[in-house]
A and B are shown apart, each in its own frame.
Chain A
Amino acid sequence: MTKAVKNYIGFGIFLLMIALSYATNFQIGMDVGDNFWIFAWDMLRILPPAFLLIGIFEVWAKRETIEKSFGGVSGPKRYIYGILLAATTVGGTFVAFPVANSLYHKGADYNSIFTYVTAASLVMIPMSIMEASILGIRFTLIRLGVSLPLVILSAALLGAYFKKKKYLLPAQE
């Protein structure tokens, strides 16, 4: 039995237990079920179009283009591109991880992908708007103002470290 099959069986048992909880009115199980549904619905809506886009990206994006904007030769511009890409990403880090991996294998360097992943959790536009409406515009502006330099600084440091260690990201084929 492969690992994936085991995971699916585990997941099937998990679903069965939730179903049983509803059938027997078992409160904790039903709470797990409610939580599960909230997140499952979110992932169901976001992941299929996100992965379709990744597929389209992989067949069309030219390696030279990605290298030019997200590779080492791009210089400081790659930080701006990474942040802009992240600002418009929907779904937070769990969408950013596969996108970053694809970018990397098309020639983006570590500085760009760490900028992108970090910014994808800090400067997403749709999320920031929601944040400002609930916690106040001042909160959001301070948070963004403090975040941006940290995004770039940490990406530069992590990028330098991983380049020095000659670290390679796992391939996804």
Chain B
Amino acid sequence: MIGLYAVTAIAFLISLLIDRERTIKAVKIGWKKFTKILPGYLKILMILSVVLLVPNEIIARYLGESSSYFGIIVAGIFGSITMMPGFIAYPLAGVFLDQGVSYMVIAAFVTTLMMVGVATYPVEKQYFGKRSTIIRNVTAFGIAMIIALSMGLFYGELI
């Protein structure tokens, strides 16, 4: 986070020193793009605020009780519907681990959480188009499942 601000500040200052006009144009472009996509981000915010009403204990209970293959799919679906920043997702994953949820189910959960975004659809659609958004998300779900299964193999949870 600090890195992002540092990089932005340095880039902005250098840009300003080299060419003031261009820098103003850059700010305008950034602002225009931002305001154009803002309704999409607001939609994501509303969807996430409501979806995350499902208490963590319920998710953990489902994930912990499901048999391995089924658990991966349930975790994948939970993770696909919502989206979380890492600083919320990983502590939550840590809680799941403590409650006895297997590594491969946790992997399915965190990977789909980051990669598959049903909730981020309103934004992705505007940058990638509908078709590409759907294809990318389906592919991402497949990748997440492969990662989860590999995790199961490495941790000896599959056999």
A residues near B147, Cβ cutoff 8 Å: 143, 146-147, 150
Pairs A-B, 3 closest by C-beta atoms: A55-B30, A7-B39, A55-B26
Out of B3, B30, B87, name the residue touching A54 (CB < 8 Å). B30
The 5 listed contacts between A and B (C-beta, < 8 Å) are A92-B114, A94-B123, A118-B115, A150-B146, A158-B135
Binding site for A on B (CB under 8 A): 1, 3-5, 7-8, 11-12, 15, 22-23, 25-31, 33-34, 36-37, 39, 41-46, 48-50, 52-53, 83, 85-88, 90-91, 93-94, 97, 103, 106-107, 110-111, 114-115, 117, 120, 123-124, 126-129, 131-132, 135-136, 139-140, 143, 146-147, 150-151, 154
A residues near B12, Cβ cutoff 8 Å: 52, 56
User: What 13 new A-B contacts, CB under 8 Å, besides A127-B86, A150-B146?
Assistant: A14-B46, A36-B48, A39-B85, A43-B41, A51-B33, A53-B30, A54-B33, A90-B1, A94-B117, A97-B124, A100-B128, A117-B136, A118-B140
CA distance A11 to B39 in the complex (A): 9
The majority secondary structure among interface residues of chain B is: helix
Out of B4, B91, B94, B132, name the residue touching A167 (CB < 8 Å). B132
User: Quick one: given A39-B49, A100-B127, A170-B129, are A59 and B26 in contact (CB under 8 Å)?
Assistant: yes
CA distance A47 to B44 in the complex (A): 14
A56:B15 contact, CB within 8 angstroms: yes
A143:B151 contact, CB within 8 angstroms: yes
Against B, the Cβ 8 Å flags (1 = close, 0 = not) of A103-127 are 0000000000010011001101011
CA distance A93 to B39 in the complex (A): 17
User: Quick one: given A39-B45, A94-B123, A146-B150, are A118 and B143 in contact (CB under 8 Å)?
Assistant: yes
User: Quick one: given A55-B31, A135-B93, are A169 and B123 in contact (CB under 8 Å)?
Assistant: no
Taking the nearest CB of chain A, how far is it from the CB of B71, in angstroms?
A: 16
Q: Which of B36, B45, B48 has the most CB of A within 10 A?
A: B45
Out of B26, B34, B86, B154, name the residue touching A126 (CB < 8 Å). B86
